[in-house]
Structure 1
């Protein structure tokens, strides 16, 4: 590992918060009926999917840091309203960013000992766990995005592309003509 790897995780934490803000803003345009509609996604609805993402981030951050809440079910509904969930999401995104800001090569290469939801023990490097955390967010955010765009249409649903974030964050730019 090196400073490049640490920078990559900082970029992913920034992207994660950015994409969540955009997704939650789109979800806020849904009616309550649409927001809660069972649509056949892994966690049913936009509401279930957004709750699942917060649940899993809390579980992983508890495993990584040893602190914070860790729900005991992947389908737990932590907050019943979108505004409450959005506030908690923002706090968790700040927590993830704050943790990532403390990373070093030593921490990234260190083994994390944890048990999965069934109690089975595992060991893997923190870097691999963070890869999963950010990839998992992207996976289920994509599901929520699809559900939202099904209600609002593509034109009303924001891009969540990493390249878009990189451009907005000044990490990429167009070449001069």
Structure 2
């Protein structure tokens, strides 16, 4: 289904996207960041927090050196109250994702992963490759929501097309 190059490319894409979003979000006022814009999680800040929370959660499943988020899913949108603490945590997590991806070998992508799902209230088992694809798809989905909210607010959203990612990203 996937190979280590796919994972490394998507980890680079995630980092590239977040590095473009950070200055845009950091330039906005707290009121602008927390304004309900009618998205699934309401605001830019809530969506960015949920996205980071999901990344931390999935990485804690993929890499035992990563600790799970300190809050549950119901509070995922409140992970960080301020953009600067979010940005610092986002930067660190993106580095961990890239380090993990760069160390993967083909054999590391074989087999199943099992975890307890709080949202489903049961153990879930799925092929590891499927879980990794979901991980990156979740990122892209919520960054798309952030992109739409930025555009609707009159701000210029960064380029998000994978094919335009610089080779050095």
TM-score (norm 1): 0.86
Uncovered stretches (5+) of structure 2, i.e. residues with no partner:
none
1:152-171 deviation digits (Å, cap 9, x = unpaired): 34xx2211110111xx2169
Q: Which residue of the partner structure matches residue 68 of structure 2?
A: 69
Given that residues 11 and 101 in structure 2 are in contact (C-alpha distance below 8 angstroms), is that contact kept between their aligned partners in structure 1? yes
Q: Counterpart of 1:132?
A: 134
Which one of 144, 147, 154 corresponds to residue 152 of structure 1?
Answer: 154
The separation in 2 between residues aligned to 1:31 and 1:103, in whole angstroms, is 39
Question: Measured at CA, do residues 16 and 74 of structure 1 come closer, stay the same or move farther in structure 2, by a change above 3 Å?
Answer: farther
Larger radius of gyration: 1
The alignment partner of 2:73 has SS state of coil
| Aligned 8 A contact 1:37 1:45 in 2 | yes
Say whether the 8 Å CA contact 1:58–1:92 is kept in structure 2. yes
TM-score by length of 2: 0.90
SS of aligned partner of 1:115 = strand
Whether contact under 8 Å (1:111, 1:126) holds in the other structure is: yes
Q: Bigger CA drift: 72-81 or 33-42?
A: 72-81
Q: After the TM superposition, which segments of 4 or more aligned residues of structure 1 sit over 3 Å from their partners? A: none
How far the C-alpha of 1:97 sits from its partner, in A, is 0.9
Structure 1 unmatched ranges of 5 or more: 172-177
Corresponding residue pairs, total: 165
